[in-house]
Structure 1
Amino acid sequence: MINPSAVGWIDKFFLKQNSSLLAAEMQPDLFYKKVRETGFIYGHIVSFNIPFQIVTKGWLQNEISKVALLNTLYGVYELTTGENNQEKFVSKAVAFYNEMNPQGFSLFKKILPDDSASVTLEKIIDSRVQTNIDIISKNFSHIVTNALLFIDVLAFRQYLIHGKIPEKYLKKIEEAIISIVSLALKTKSTKSKYDDLLIKLFESSVRYSKFSKVNIKNLEELKLDYFTKELEQNYLIDMAGMALWSDGVIENNEAYFLYKLAELMGVPDDFVTECMEKTNEFITKYKNEIPYFKYSNPVKHFYDQTTQTVVTLIGRNKNRLVKEIVQSKELMLLLAYSTRRDLNEKEKKKVRKQLLDICKTIPSLAIFLLPGGSLLLPIFIKFIPTLLPSAFNENLDHED
């Protein structure tokens, strides 16, 4: 019996499975479709693509996600290298995550020098999954959190091929996803105010590009020729398909958007048709189990949940935040001005950069530096002045 919350679960997993996927019998398109069947692409895992099934009754969702992430990483390792050497895989995965770790922030502080490679990987995977499910919110949108874990898989494949993660790869794929999902949402003929809020969140949420603004107005402006591999192309189409399905209907103009996206990447129309069918089939079947779709207006729920999360974090770290912020007169002024007028792009960039620097110094706010956490940043900026009015308004009055 495997316990993904106990030390040694990775070794036990491989001992039980022996090998997960046989690369010699697997092609990229088949590998992707099998991963999608498990729900990993959709951010809601319902099964594992393994020879010996595991009973998960009583498991927490994050425990299921741990095994799914491990298994998918190992699958792409076999697919890419043609090997099924589990020890070598673990070593490569640890080295990959050490390189992937963004902005010099230590994501894995609990790792000890004498940890074995497999125990180190367990802690890394725990950090990745916990970030997306528990720390931010158990009801955080599957479209923008757990589903984004497939970026790890794509980047790991690049690492295996090149011996390193290609420069700006993470930046480019993240911006492509954000831009495509944003454009997809904009094609919807009927949008609520919450759809518009979600679009703004996507456009403001750039993790690896150091605050460059994503401002793509149409598909033709995207540099999709950078993504030449089936796994990347299929994933981008599925992400757009999920965003369009959020109201349960894909209209003709939305379907056209998906086919146009596929055409620009040289993906056959058959895959788009299958994408829409599989997405509809999966979400319809598991809709009642996916937190994002349990509510009459999932986008409103998404925004409400993330807002509450940010308010709670600010409240818990209020004193430390004030102490850090008052040390920067420029940041104080800009936050104060934001309560009375819209900041321009240059000012917004300064605020985001300085607040993220502060987040690095406060452990509880480290989630803003992690996968999905950047989606909370615009709300974070919005609520700081309203929760801490005296410190900011007095400073602004003094300047006036």
Structure 2
Amino acid sequence: MSSTKTDFSPGSKNWIAKFFDLFKKGDFTFDTDLISQNESNLTHFISHQTGLIYGTTKSFIFTNNLDKKRLNTDEQLQLLLLETLFFTYLRKQQTFNHSETFIDEVLAFYKGYNGSGIWKQLQFKMTQNPHRKLELILAARVGIKSSFLGANYWLKHLSNAFIFLDVILFRAYLEGNTTPFLKNHERYTSSMLNGLIYAAFIDGKTEANEKKILKHFLASAALPRKIYRRFKERSKIGISVRLLKQELVNDTLLAQITYEFGHLLLQSTHLISPDEKQKLKTLGAALNMSNAQMLESEEMCAAFVAQSGPEELLVYKQSTEASFAFKETSQRWLRIIGRNKDRLILEVKESKELMDLLQKSTKEELSPEEKEQVKAQFYDILKSMPSLALFLLPGGTLIFPIVMKLVPELIPSAFKINEVAKKQNEDEL
């Protein structure tokens, strides 16, 4: 029986087979230009926009025409994880013929992993269908084993905070890393935990909320008991730069998200002081990051927070400290755009249609078609500006609302010039 979008339900039996059926029919689509992009960090940028890096779902890659509200948190994450693994696969292979080839590749990558809990392991062993095997794996991957319930912190739900590591490891696997998944996951998770613990102790102590978040990360890590106890102890006393470097896994993408998580760990409890910002640089240096990479990661965090809001990202949405931290990151993001003000003004002024629409938007609500025209033209402009373009992938929705708020402030003279020209034309008629 043919699948339809209305009966597609991630998490239900055979949902992966339905996903690929709908993909082949063209019901689920994506920007094919992204597959051929040479940008090595494209998966990183896209996963910032979708939220997968943070263990949440802001948007999807292929299925944005689905009604996200009818899916629970786990279903959303399972779908987004599948999409991101599939996107990573397409980026590497550049072609796609059969879903079976992709499924076999992912199952080979997860070889040795059979979920957590006796019942799930039994289900996995009894299942022969490859699609169903992958469904069971993804369901197990997005959850965590934890008795730590009822806390309202960071992302508001106990999803696997390290879920993006699966994408990093899958990319490494496709590039020839044949280390078994569980062993590799242990190494990468340990390296990241070291960075987070170091960040938490940057000011010499850990706050209560930082301890809660570290506990969430430890629960997400799914480490063997002996190693778990080692990191539980480290989360109480801190870690030295020497030990951090000694146990470091050299992976550029891993370093970036470790630095970003460390940055957000501090930011989620209080406004980061200048001294803490400087000490965070020592974390970046220990992770072998350049100053440019650190700045990029800080700006990625700022963009995500600006889009998400403190109620989704920070520990206590009503706390004064959290409010200040959010305002700081929002202002930082506005400064990123501000640094490109002159070029942005020039580009916008050269488009009469865009100028007319922006001017109209200051007086009345634009129609859906007009909003799409503005969005498309802004997308074309910002794609040519590297410091902004990385926040646009894949659809330009990340900073568009902020840019729209800024435009009247950034180019008041441009609006006036356009108004004068328009009035002159009317007088001539």
Band the TM-score falls in, shorter-chain normalisation = 0.5 to 0.7
Q: Which residue of 2 aligns with 1:111?
A: 124
The number of residues matched between the two structures is 299
What is aligned with 2:173? Answer: 159
**How far has the Cα of 1:257 moved from its partner?**
3.4
Residue aligning to 1:302 = none
Q: SS at the partner of 1:222?
A: helix
Counterpart AA for 1:6: S
* Alignment correspondent of 1:363: none
CA contact (8 A) 1:184 1:254 kept: no
Contact 1:188 1:244 in 2 (8 A): no
Please tell me whether residue 278 in structure 1 is matched to residue 318 in structure 2.
no
Contact 2:78 2:142 in 1 (8 A): yes
Question: How far apart are residue 148 of structure 1 and its match?
Answer: 0.5
Identical-pair percentage: 21
User: How many Å separate the matches in 1 of 2:18 and 2:241?
Assistant: 46
1:344-363 maps to which residues of 2 (within 5 A)? none
Cα distance change, pair 87–136 in 1 and its aligned pair in 2 (3 A)? farther
Bigger RCO (CA 8 Å, 6+ sep): 1
Query: How many angstroms does 1:156 deviate by?
Result: 2.3
- Segments of 5+ residues of structure 1 without an aligned counterpart are 299-400
The answer to whether structure 1 residue 121 and structure 2 residue 149 are counterparts is no
Match of 1:218 among 218, 240, 250: 240
Q: For 2:10 and 2:215, how far apart are their aligned partners in 1?
A: 36
Q: Which amino acid in 1 is paired with 2:123?
A: K
1:237 corresponds in structure 2 to 259
Deviation at 1:74, TM superposition (A): 1.5
Q: Report the counterpart of residue 343 of structure 2 in structure 1.
A: none
TM-fit CA distance, 1:287 = 3.5
Cα 1:102–1:177 change in 2 (3 A) is farther
Distance in 2 of aligned mates of 1:134 and 1:79 = 38
Q: Which amino acid aligns with 1:152?
A: D
Report the equivalent of 2:51: 39
Question: Could you tell which deviates more after superposition, 138-147 or 92-101?
Answer: 138-147
Asked if 1:95 is matched to 2:108, the reply is yes
Change (3 A) 1:295 1:97: same
* 1:241-294 Cα distance to aligned partner (Å, 9 max, x none): 221221252222332233323333443323322322332332343236538645
Letter in 1 for 2:55: G
TM-score by length of 1: 0.62
Shift in Å, 1:130? 4.0
1:172 correspondence with 2:187: yes
Is residue 199–residue 265 contact of structure 2 (8 Å, CA) maintained in 1? yes
Task: Give the Cα separation in 2 of the matches to 1:57 and 1:145.
Answer: 17
The letter for the 1-side match of 2:19 is F
CA contact (8 A) 1:244 1:250 kept: yes
The 8 Å contact of residues 43 and 146 in structure 1, kept in 2 or not, is answered as yes
C-alpha spacing 1:244/1:155, structure 2 compared with 1 (3 Å): same
RMSD: 3.9
Change (3 A) 1:167 1:61: closer
Does the aligned pair in 1 maintain the 2:192–2:254 contact within 8 Å? Answer: no
1:62 equivalenced with 2:74 (yes/no) = yes
Contact 1:159-1:165 at 8 Å conserved across structures:
no
What is aligned with 1:263? 285
Distance 1:263 1:79, change over 3 A: farther
Distance 1:240 1:223 in 2: 16
CA–CA distance in structure 1, aligned partners of residues 196 and 94 of structure 2: 33
Change (3 A) 1:113 1:221: closer
The residue that corresponds to 1:247 in the other structure is: 269
CA contact (8 A) 1:73 1:153 kept: yes
2-structure distance, mates of 1:253, 1:274: 20
- 1:125 and 1:292, CA in 2 relative to 1: closer, same or farther beyond 3 A? farther
Unaligned runs of 5+ in 2: 321-429
**For the Cα contact (< 8 Å) 1:139–1:291, is it kept in 2?**
no
Q: By how many angstroms is 1:35 displaced?
A: 1.0
How far apart are the structure 1 equivalents of 2:265 and 2:242?
19
**What CA distance in whole angstroms lies between the structure 1 residues aligned with 2:218 and 2:23?**
41
Q: Using the alignment, how far apart are the partners of 2:74 and 2:188 within structure 1?
A: 25
> 1:339-363, CA deviations, whole angstroms, 9 ceiling, x for partnerless residues?
xxxxxxxxxxxxxxxxxxxxxxxxx
Partner residue of 1:10? 16
User: CA–CA distance in 1 between the matches of 2:178 and 2:205?
Assistant: 46
Once the two structures are superposed, residues 349-390 of structure 1 have per-residue CA deviations (whole angstroms, 9 ceiling, x without a partner) of xxxxxxxxxxxxxxxxxxxxxxxxxxxxxxxxxxxxxxxxxx
For residue 99 of structure 1, give the secondary structure of its aligned residue in structure 2: coil
TM-score, normalization by structure 2: 0.58
Q: Give the counterpart letter for 1:73 in structure 2.
A: L
Q: 1:127 to 1:218 in 2, by over 3 A?
A: same
Equivalent pair of 1:38/1:48 in contact (CA under 8 Å): yes
Q: Distance in 1 between matches of 2:212 and 2:270?
A: 19
Matches within 5 A, 1:320-331: none
**Structure 2 CA distance, aligned partners of 1:128 and 1:137?**
21
Give the distance between the partners of 1:266 and 1:281, measured in 2 at CA.
23
Q: Distance in 2 between matches of 1:201 and 1:288?
A: 19
User: Highest CA radius of gyration, 1 or 2?
Assistant: 2
Partners of 1:100 and 1:165 within 8 A in 2: no
SS at match of 2:74: helix
User: How many angstroms does 1:53 deviate by?
Assistant: 3.8
CA contact (8 A) 1:44 1:146 kept: no
Query: What is the CA-CA distance between 1:181 and the residue it aligns to?
Result: 0.8
The residue that corresponds to 2:327 in the other structure is none
Number of the residue aligned with 2:84: 72
